[in-house]
Chains A and B, each alone.
Chain A
Amino acid sequence: MSLIRFSNVGKSYDTQSGRRVPALRGFELELKRGEFFCLLGPSGCGKTTILSLLAGFEAPTTGEILLDGEPISGTSRDRGVVFQGDNSLYSWLTALENIEFGLRLRRLPRKIYRPKAMEYLRLVGLDGQQDKYPAELSGGMKQRIQVARALANQPKILLMDEPFGALDAQTRATMQRELRQIWRATEASIFFITHDIDEAITLGSRVGIMSAGPGGTLQQVIEIEMGDERSRSDLTYVDYYARIERAVGHEVNRAGKRIQEPV
């Protein structure tokens, strides 16, 4: 049985001007246990919307999402979330206290959650930074805390919304490598949103491409059959890139045309 199953999932929002706009339409997808799924799509196509529905922050307007065969209703700690940007970190807690936040919510004794949080702090390479507050950390470090905070809770699946979007190319490459290692080491399932083709091929075991929004849907899923060593100069890599670029380019063009069209 698949870990997660979206069937005909749609979501509409009521805008402030009183109109009802579709953000997502007829989304169908099955996520396998332990896979690293990358969702790729042009801006505004509904990627964050899917994450909100999957995390349980919002309810779908149509269709349903099943987790282990049970429909998702509301949030739960079996779906850990890494948010876009760093607004979700608790500014009054140190790096370590942020990481152990989820464990504390479970009322575990300190002598259990402290060492465990330290373990995840080390896992994301933040050794020695445990007593710093988020404001004292760089963008990359803050994203590492978010990852560690979500992982420490040992969720069934980790949902990540463009987590490395705001990082420089070098830091991003490092973080990508480490995330692959963590995924290998923890055997976690990961649902990873990005708008970067290179990132999707580097990380994913499958890449889903969405059609242009608003009201986008899943257009195509491509299996990435490459090992852990993924080099940009690899012929297979170049091949995947071309294929995905074609699919995405087509969608970006459509989105662009739509914007240029006079209303």
Chain B
Amino acid sequence: MIWETVRLSLISIRRNVLRSFLTLLGIVIGVAAVIAMLTIGSGTTEKVKTDISKLGSNLLVVRSGRPAGPGGPGGLDQVTRPLAAKDVEALVAHLSGARAIAPASQKQVRVIFGTESLTSGVTGTDSAYLDARDWNLVSGRPFSDSETRAGAGVCLIGETVRQQFFGAGDPEGETIRINRTSCRIIGLLEPKGYTGFGQDQDNVVLMPLAAYQRRIAGNRDIDNIYIAADDRTPTTELQPRVEDILRDTRRITPDRDPDFSIRDMTQIADAMASATTTMTGMLGAVAGVSLLVGGIGIMNIMLVSVTERTREIGIRLAIGAHENHILIQFLVEATVLSLLGGIIGILIGLAIAGLASVTLTIPFAPSPAVILLAVGFSALIGMVFGFFPALRGARLDPIDALRHE
């Protein structure tokens, strides 16, 4: 009986392909929007999470400059005292609960090997940097202490740099030119991929801080200090300790604002993730309105369908159809129609999300639960908005209906 009814409704939908399709557009757009949004949203969240773990978990980053607002970076226009070696030394000497403390300065610089060139993020740092950022070497070795101290012409390169210059080949022992200086490659960094902002984290060259300062930056400034908390210490506990030590060495009395900022990467990650969720929610509301419009479209077309088929309803009632038979027939038709729209919408939504995941380099993360929900929801829309027209059909007087022309 139900199967018969479903078959019947498919036939009647097929009889009016164009009209059915136009009716479905609201549902299709609504469901496609929801699916695309939620899929992209969860992909972004996943991406942010993996970015954070790539950045190094439980990481604090110190920068010079006043924090602009809650959690925000310092304004670029401020003239501020840069971080210096003594700040790092003070932290190394006095900070407890840190697993690794590494200074780092970086700059986009043209790197040359043979006839090839590449603009790369050149970073001056020490061997603790790898530890602080949870970054391993695929091959080779980190800087030795003496190389760090002396500012030797050695460097570690990221995967992008290797591919540009050496293809799949072994870069170790080769010498690349950076600005007017050169360095010998002693190791290859593990690939990290792109950040959520589309920045290639593998397009990097690491070199000893002293060498960077002397040969590339031309000053002794330190841009960032990376501090990784150990397993027992939450970053929220570590942060005030860092601030105390730095206020001390930089002689900032407690009544004044610090001239440096400490960013907690975990907090930033959470903020980003929740911003994504908010966005998803807002866009979801927009999609919800579209679904409502789609539902009204279904109601409208079902009313038209009931009117058009008044005579058919009369015939069915005359030969002994129960009211519920008619009710179910039109309810099933509305549900099948809206379900069809839902399925088309899901396919389009997934296609959009798939495309977005390629262009935004985020993972394609379709959620079976969300898809199932969309299917259920579109069926529900059909039932809810189809009910009134179906009831109208079922309540028709058979004699009037038979006389209808």
Chain B associates with chain A: no
A interface residues, Cβ below 8 angstroms from B: none
B interface residues, Cβ below 8 angstroms from A: none
